[in-house]
Amino acid sequence: MNKNLLGLAPAYLVMLVLMIIPLLIVVDVAFMTSDPYGGFKQVFSLESFQQILYNVDWDDNLVLNLQYLKIIGRTLLLSAITALICVCIAFPVAYYISRQSASRKTVLLYLVTLPFWVSMVVRVYAWVLILSNDGVLESGLRLFGLVDDMDSLLYNNGAMLVGMVYSYIPLMILPIYASIEKLDINLIEAANDLYSNRLKTLYRIILPLSKPGIVAGAILVFVPCLGTVLEPMLLGGGKTMMMGNLIQNQFTISRNWSFGASLALVLLAIVLIFLMLQALRAKRVQAGEV
Amino acid sequence: MLNFLSGGAKRHDAKHYPGFGLIGVLFFIFLYLPILVMIAYSFNSNKIVSVWQGFSLKWYFSALQNDGLMSAVRVSLTVATVATVLATLIAISAALVLSRGKDVKGAKLSETVINLPLMLPEIVFAVAILILFSQLGVQNGLLKLILAHTCFCIPFAFLPIRARLQGMHTNFEQAAQDLYAPPWVAFKRITLPLIMPGIFAGAMLSFVISMDDFITSNIVSGGGATTLPVYIFSLVKQGVSPELNAISTLIIAISLLLVTPCWLIAERNRDASL
């Protein structure tokens, strides 16, 4: 028996049985009929995909239903806004860190990555504690007589955005920092010697040269946001669902597996499209076209 | 203070951007304030979380006597330990073949397959493996968790080991071969000690990823096996409570105790290798 094959066999076996075959089963289930008693029946149908767009009314007519499209749209929009906010905060922070002394850099980078090692549930809970009704923020504001009574700050898009930025921003800082560190600092000096002001140097030199880091960070934040579950469940409410918790609900509360499987395929397709675009871009950059 | 904000840069330094330092400081406050607030309120003796009454450790005592919490800790530790050992062994074997094997075919494909869990949204993986287990009739909650966690921990164990193998000279291994060391002895005496930092980093990463996992564990668990994050989530769903603050603070303290030494070791190794 070939030694190479033997060494790779365990990894292939695990990925095949626990990853690839289950994914194929998901595809299969998405094209089956959902069983009203939970699970699914082995009867081919496109019902579950149709359900994303249409409701069936009493006369068996299809009625356009925007509910799920709205959730898909909200997921894309909130993930994009999260990535955008993260870039706006992460770029100055990464630049600031890169200008520090070597020992200070290590400590600051440690502080950036540290929250990542703290349980995600705990980090999201910290925001529940702060934003909830009669929570820390509200009591604090009341203490200073700034507010009397305010609406809950939880269960809306804003709370979810705060939670998502909070959870994923280290993923944006690290790649931007890496590309700023690689940037030849003499270029900034040269621009200054040639009478370029700071703003112009920022737009013409620093930002273009740190673009690979910004793009990598944007993908690293945007893609996990698309499938995020905790923030919409704890900080968002029933009216502000995202794809992650919509899919999860089909397997827990609603027990509509076929519909859940078809939604999972839609999410997977969206993610793959973005990853492919990124891979194509990386190839073009490598070929020196951009 | 002003000097701190600008990082000691001169005002006429072209590389200095005014305002960036302020954003930096505000960012670190944003990153740490929520956690610090939670830690502070875990010592609040008042049952109403947000109204400060006085210092007390009573929520810590009640947390440590909470049977649900302790059983979740046991499940999480068991799953994370077994999954880490399995994932690390599988990753070592695959990394060795891919960086030291002779004429390996389809190395690129193999790396893609091993890294599959990193590309897929976790909720899709969770749903897929849930359907698989229900089709196969796997009932044992602990077994389901261990299998799922082993799978998504493999790339986290694999990447640092592979990086270590690639960044390392093969001089010593060749010398061992030239001196007629049998392959197994050469591996045990030369390669293994040299890739130990990579193995350590990979195992550590797997362990933390497994301990922290929520999405997959939440969907797969059941059958009497609830992991720590899933248990905490169920508490958060019931609303904020001082005991929850204490539990969260304990978890943060343990993560810090685990991560800081690893970070220090990694820093020392990096300095040494320069």
ipTM of the complex: 0.87
Taking the domains of chain A in order of start, what are their residue ranges?
Answer: 1-65+256-290, 67-242
pLDDT digit of tens for each residue in chain A (290 aa)?
Answer: 577 888 899 999 999 999 999 999 999 988 887 776 666 777 787 877 888 887 777 777 788 888 899 999 999 999 999 999 999 999 999 999 998 888 899 899 999 988 888 889 999 999 998 888 777 777 777 777 776 666 677 888 889 999 999 999 999 999 999 989 888 788 888 888 888 787 888 888 888 888 889 998 999 999 999 999 999 999 987 678 899 999 999 888 878 888 999 999 999 999 999 988 888 888 887 776 54
Tokens of B138: 């796997």
Which residue in this structure is represented by tokens 């070592």?
B92
A·B CB contacts under 8 A: 251
The answer, for B264 touching chain A at a CB cutoff of 8 Å, is: no
Domain spanning A67-242: CATH superfamily: MetI-like (1.10.3720.10)
Q: Is the Cβ pair A4, B104 closer than 8 Å? A: yes
Query: Which residue of chain A comes nearest to B268, CA vs CA?
Result: A106
Where are chain B's structural domains?
8-56, 60-273
Chain B closest CA to A180's CA: distance in Å? Answer: 12
Nearest CA in chain B to A187: B15
Contact A216, A91 (CB under 8 A): no
CB B202 within 8 A of CB B156: yes
d(CA B170, CA A138): 61
Instruction: Using CA coordinates, name the residue in chain A closest to B204.
Output: A117
Chain B, nearest residue to A86 by Cα: B27
Q: Which residues of A touch B259 (CB under 8 A)?
A: 114, 117
Residues in chain B where the model's pLDDT stays below 70: 1-12, 222-223, 269-274
Q: Which region holds residue A74: left if phi is over 0, alpha if psi is between -120 and 50, else beta?
A: alpha
Q: Kindly report the CATH class assigned to B60-273.
A: mainly alpha
Given A95, A110, A169, which is nearest B17 (Cβ)? A95
Residues 6+ apart with CB under 8 A from B140: B223, B225
**Chain B within 8 Å of A282 (Cβ-Cβ)?**
no
Min CA distance, A271 vs chain B (Å)? 8
- The answer to whether B99 and B166 are in contact (CB under 8 A) is yes
Question: B104 and A139: CB-CB below 8 Å?
Answer: no
